[in-house]
């Protein structure tokens, strides 16, 4: 049976854009503040996807007080430079345009603070494609992807879960969608991998934007 996805929720980092330089440089800057020297920012790519506080606790065992300070220092770099050290994936604007022409409704659901997500998408000329851009609060009370998706759904009552799908590049996107009763597709061009998508029970896994387009517009499973 052909799928009919009319309401498409998108992760930001690793799905719409490649934020590696900006995010990892900001993490490097914050860790240096605490005496941790990281020479190769590529080793910090596990920070792309989950909330920063979750990664700091998991990888560096930071206390709540250290996490609060690390967020402050991280933002010193990220707001001044990092948010613009971001590269939109080639062809993503074309795909978003096609989806809108097909009458699809597009939303962003990111663990990044909502104000920053809006600024990034406006800077790169993508904000106008979306009906709604949802993210974390300024004081980081809505960081989990399940909470962000729930917020987007609650703010957009027109979304029919039976015709909705979440697009993301990490297991957190899949789990967050499942928690809200909507299917999810994992994209392999981001920072996740097939193993984590399978373990998270992703409904679909695509290699590239072409396969994603076929799924979202034509209903063709990869």
The catalytic residue positions are 11
How many residues appear in the chain?
Answer: 222
Residue 13 neighbours by CB under 8 Å, 6+ apart: 19, 23, 48, 49, 110, 112, 169, 191
Largest distance between two CA atoms of the chain = 56
The pair of three-digit structure tokens given for residue 119, joined into one six-digit string: 């600024």
CA dihedral 62, 67, 72, 73 (to 10 degrees): 10
Segment (H or E) for 132 = strand 132-136
Give the separation between CA 19 and CA 24, rounded to whole angstroms: 8
Edge-first strand listing for the sheet containing 184-187: 132-136, 105-113, 7-10, 164-168, 184-187, 204-206
The pair of three-digit structure tokens given for residue 14, joined into one six-digit string: 């690793």
Residue 206 neighbours by CB under 8 Å, 6+ apart: 185, 186, 187, 188, 212, 215, 222
Give the separation between CA 151 and CA 145, rounded to whole angstroms: 10
């Amino acid at each position: 049976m052909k799928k009919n996805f009319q309401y498409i929720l998108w992760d930001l980092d690793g799905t719409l854009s490649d934020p590696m330089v900006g995010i990892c440089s900001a993490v490097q800057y914050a860790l240096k503040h605490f005496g941790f020297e990281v020479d190769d920012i590529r080793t910090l790519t596990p920070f792309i996807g989950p909330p920063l506080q979750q990664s700091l606790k998991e990888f560096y065992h930071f206390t709540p007080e250290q996490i609060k300070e690390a967020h402050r220092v991280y933002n010193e770099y990220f707001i001044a430079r990092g948010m613009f050290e971001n590269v939109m994936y080639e062809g993503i604007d074309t795909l978003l345009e096609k989806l809108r022409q097909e009458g699809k409704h597009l939303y962003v659901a990111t663990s990044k603070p909502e104000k920053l997500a809006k600024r990034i998408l406006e800077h790169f000329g993508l904000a106008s494609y979306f009906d709604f851009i949802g993210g974390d609060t300024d004081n980081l009370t809505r960081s989990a992807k399940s909470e962000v998706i729930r917020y987007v759904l609650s703010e957009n009552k027109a979304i029919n879960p039976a015709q909705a799908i979440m697009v993301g590049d990490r297991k957190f996107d899949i789990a967050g969608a499942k928690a809200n009763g909507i299917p999810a597709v994992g994209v392999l061009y981001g920072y996740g991998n097939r193993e984590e998508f399978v373990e998270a029970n992703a409904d679909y896994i695509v290699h590239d934007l072409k396969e994603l387009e076929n799924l979202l517009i034509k209903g063709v499973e990869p």
